[in-house]
Structure 1
Amino acid sequence: MERSSTFVKKYFWQGQTLSESNRNEQEKIPLNASFDEIFIIKHRRLIGILIPLVIFYAAWWSLAIRYDLFELFPRRYEMSLVMIFGATVAGMTTEGGGAIAFPIMTLVLKIEPVIARDFSLMIQACGMTAAAFTIFWMQIAVEWRSVFFCTIGAVFGATFGFTYVDPLLNASQKKMIFVSVFFSFALALYMLNTRKKRTTFFKIQNFNAWKAMVLVCTGLAGGVFTSIVGSGVDVLSFSMLTLLFSVSEKVATPTSVILMAFNSQVCFFWRELIMADVSPVSWEYLAVCLPVVVVFAPLGSMLASHFHRLVLAYFIYLLETLALIGGFLVVRPDLPLTITSICIIVTAFTFFFVVSRIGARMLDQMQKENQVKNVLLPSDIDMKPVFEV
């Protein structure tokens, strides 16, 4: 019984990675604190979920009553069920809700990739925004420079992709590109977790211009991929933060949630108001899924902040392996597309492997320089290693 309790505590209730200000706040409540201050400090998690929930529900119920959105549920309820799982995954992992919605909609429900892509962006703009608020309210540690510089690249990448790249691809190609790239990400994450005694940090060390440019380029590539399948900049950002810059997964994950929340809003704006090309079907799916995602995305974010990183990693391995198998079984790609998919997996894995090696060398060099100078890394929360595996 004791071993079981230790196992559960280690992997499923490890504890949240909070910023220094919130940690100090929770450790010591002022003696002269008022009732409302004490209530907020003690119930910060619950309040962080309820605030976006109340806002979104107030808006949804007003529209539902005015336009009778309830009549959509008998026809579109299957996506409400899908997004219970999808929104929880979006909050728990670096993958957005679109990473679940897109393959299920295109491979299982046989929905057009364009509709699935637009719905993924729309629902992420709501659900991941709710999760982002919870992260911000809980003051969970985030690498804000990654959010800023990746967003710069992602905005340009997404608009370019919507205009020039997406029209060049057919439905089968989009499906196989999705499962291939996301499976490559799972391989990269597995490779990351094979590095023993890996020191990780709460932010990018020795930040400079070239590292900012790497983040901009990461956002640019992720934006193009997002324009095709509805998500991608989040997983690329996560990969660069963890593999190249040795940032902890428990920081990279909420960082990617906030990044994807903002970029989903930008992409939603571009598709609906600039291109004016969002299908009414996508709006119908949004109407029946919004009440679900604004609850389960923040809940997933809160739960993930307690889980051991390996639990989240193995969860992603399973999801992407199933998606890849499902892609080949459902699409049944011809030989050229099969070869293309394999090439994408091999190329992406090679890229992630090289990035990982460079990141390991950068970390070794930084540690050697500090040893030569006889200087230790500052011990504050933003600089010290999170944990070693």
Structure 2
Amino acid sequence: MTTVTISNSTESSTDEQQSTKRTPAAWFKKYFLAGQQLSAVKVEPPPDASFFERILITHRKYVAVILPTSIAMIIWLLTAYRYNWFRLYETHWQMPIVMILGCTVAGMTAESGGAVAFPFMTLAMHVDPGDARDFAVLIECAGLVCATFSVHFMRVQVESKATLFGLMGSIPGLIVGFEYFDHLLTGPQKKMLFVSIWSSFAVALYILNREKKRKTYSEIQNMNYQKAIILIVTGFIGGILTAFTGSGTDICLFSIITVLFRISEKVATPTTIEIMGMNALISGYYRAIWAADVSEDMYSYVKVTIPIALIVAPVASFIGSHFHRQVLAWFVYIIEFAAIVGFVITGPPIILLVIGAAIIVVGFLFFFGLCKLGERMMNQDRIHLEGTLPMDTPKAQIGWSQ
């Protein structure tokens, strides 16, 4: 039996022809009120449902944000009162402010809060990259876990195969990265790698999104062992990068499933949120409990930033699930551009600038090659599906349109 995906993010030629006539209100509705892409399973309240059961079902998306945030905030408030964490705001106020942006990024895009925390702490505050990495993974434990709950409770569609095989690779990658690779690079080298690798991806994603009538899917088509191996290897590499900077698995898998497998950003983003949430829990456990090597200063920053993560990340996840995929992509462009500017402003050695520029060029060529390979794979999937479906099956029902 052939499984058919009824989803496509191709923008119609009619919209393109009428783009000049679109009012500001219509433009805002298209890009910021595009609606959630939910799973196919719909739950209706039974006739004998109680008042609270009806609330949980009919107002699911609001409960998904309020419930985890409320429970976690009560726990934090009781703990903060018991140990007087409030006094820490006098000396550690910087990160709560910065992580308003960081947690917004984590909830809305494929990049975790570490994509903001790591460059800010290392480039602006001159914090050791290892300490910045520890802060990133610990604060992600709070924010991304709540955001993951919100994603699943709202039944926002995710690519479960990418999650499964990505985690199969990222967990060993984290351990290998922490144990063997983390000590091989200096602080400036880690900063350079962080900025250059993800900047090359942002450029490739921009070129990909410039394709006219770009076709996307809501799940990986014709899943086989070769695609599973690609996801596992990608997760492994991402796990190693996460061990350096506190993020990496999310953007690695996001790049593969969007650029190679042509998954819509509206599906890829919540998928990477849950992947990075699991990676954050494992990384946090490893650094805080197994290695027991987190500095007291980083713990203090985490204590005062937790409320921001608990509130902003789930809310941003809810809001971002309504955005057009192009809006989510532009978040990635802006973040990476800001990271490049910040890295250059710090005045790194010329050799690092040259190496970073070379990595951006090579990385761009790599991702551009993935774009072309993804287009070829999409055409093969199309031929395969057309050959297994009845002749009169409408094209709109097989995941694409012309």
Bin for the TM-score computed over the shorter chain: over 0.9
Is the aligned partner of 1:323 residue 2:339? yes
| Secondary structure of 1:76's aligned partner | coil
Shift of residue 335, structure 1, vs aligned partner: 2.6
Residues 129-144 of structure 1 aligned to structure 2 (within 5 Å) = 129-144=145-160
Shift of residue 47, structure 1, vs aligned partner: 1.0
Gaps of 5+ in 2: 1-20
Shift of residue 198, structure 1, vs aligned partner: 2.2
Query: What does the per-residue CA deviation read over 1:286-309, in whole Å, with 9 as the maximum and x for residues that have no partner?
Result: 100001111100111111111111
The worse-fitting range, judged by mean Cα deviation, of 140-149 and 46-55 is 46-55
Distance 1:356 1:2, change over 3 A: closer
Which residue matches 2:365?
Answer: 350
Is the aligned partner of 1:210 residue 2:210? no
The worse-fitting range, judged by mean Cα deviation, of 162-171 and 256-265 is 162-171
CA contact (8 A) 1:200 1:248 kept: yes
Distance 1:235 1:286, change over 3 A: same
Query: What does the per-residue CA deviation read over 1:11-34, in whole Å, with 9 as the maximum and x for residues that have no partner?
Result: 110100011123xx3xx6555443
Distance 1:2 1:341, change over 3 A: closer
Which residue matches 2:291?
Answer: 275
| Secondary structure of 1:355's aligned partner | helix
Distance 1:71 1:245, change over 3 A: same
Residues 236-247 of structure 1 aligned to structure 2 (within 5 Å) = 236-247=252-263
Structure 1: distance between partners of 2:366 and 2:390:
33
Which residue matches 2:209?
Answer: 193
CA contact (8 A) 1:370 1:376 kept: no
Match of 1:258 among 254, 268, 274: 274
Which residue matches 2:384?
Answer: 369
Gaps of 5+ in 1: none
Residues 100-111 of structure 1 aligned to structure 2 (within 5 Å) = 100-111=116-127
Structure 2: distance between partners of 1:29 and 1:266:
37
Structure 2: distance between partners of 1:286 and 1:279:
11
Distance 1:270 1:384, change over 3 A: farther
Which residue matches 2:56?
Answer: 40
Distance 1:335 1:236, change over 3 A: same
Match of 2:133 among 105, 117, 128: 117
Structure 1: distance between partners of 2:224 and 2:393:
18
Structure 2: distance between partners of 1:279 and 1:344:
32
Query: What does the per-residue CA deviation read over 1:345-366, in whole Å, with 9 as the maximum and x for residues that have no partner?
Result: 1121111111111110011112
Structure 2: distance between partners of 1:204 and 1:268:
30
CA contact (8 A) 1:188 1:239 kept: no
Opposite residue 360 of structure 2, the aligned amino acid is I
Distance 1:319 1:377, change over 3 A: farther
Query: What does the per-residue CA deviation read over 1:76-116, in whole Å, with 9 as the maximum and x for residues that have no partner?
Result: 01111111111111000000000011111111122111111
Structure 1: distance between partners of 2:34 and 2:378:
26
Q: Which has the higher helix share?
A: 1
Distance 1:63 1:368, change over 3 A: same
Equivalent pairs counted in the alignment come to 381
Match of 2:86 among 70, 90, 109: 70
CA contact (8 A) 1:113 1:171 kept: yes
Shift of residue 340, structure 1, vs aligned partner: 1.4
CA contact (8 A) 1:234 1:260 kept: yes
TM-score (norm 2): 0.90
| Secondary structure of 1:327's aligned partner | helix
Distance 1:244 1:68, change over 3 A: same
Opposite residue 205 of structure 2, the aligned amino acid is L
Structure 1: distance between partners of 2:335 and 2:284:
26
Match of 2:71 among 51, 55, 67: 55
| Secondary structure of 1:45's aligned partner | helix
Structure 1: distance between partners of 2:391 and 2:103:
41
Is the aligned partner of 1:311 residue 2:327? yes
Aligned-pair identity (%) = 40
Which residue matches 1:19?
Answer: 39
Shift of residue 185, structure 1, vs aligned partner: 2.0
| Secondary structure of 2:182's aligned partner | helix
Query: What does the per-residue CA deviation read over 1:159-189, in whole Å, with 9 as the maximum and x for residues that have no partner?
Result: 1111221111111111111111121121121
Distance 1:110 1:376, change over 3 A: farther
Which residue matches 1:5?
Answer: 25
Query: What does the per-residue CA deviation read over 1:229-284, in whole Å, with 9 as the maximum and x for residues that have no partner?
Result: 11011011011111111111111000000000000111111112222211111111
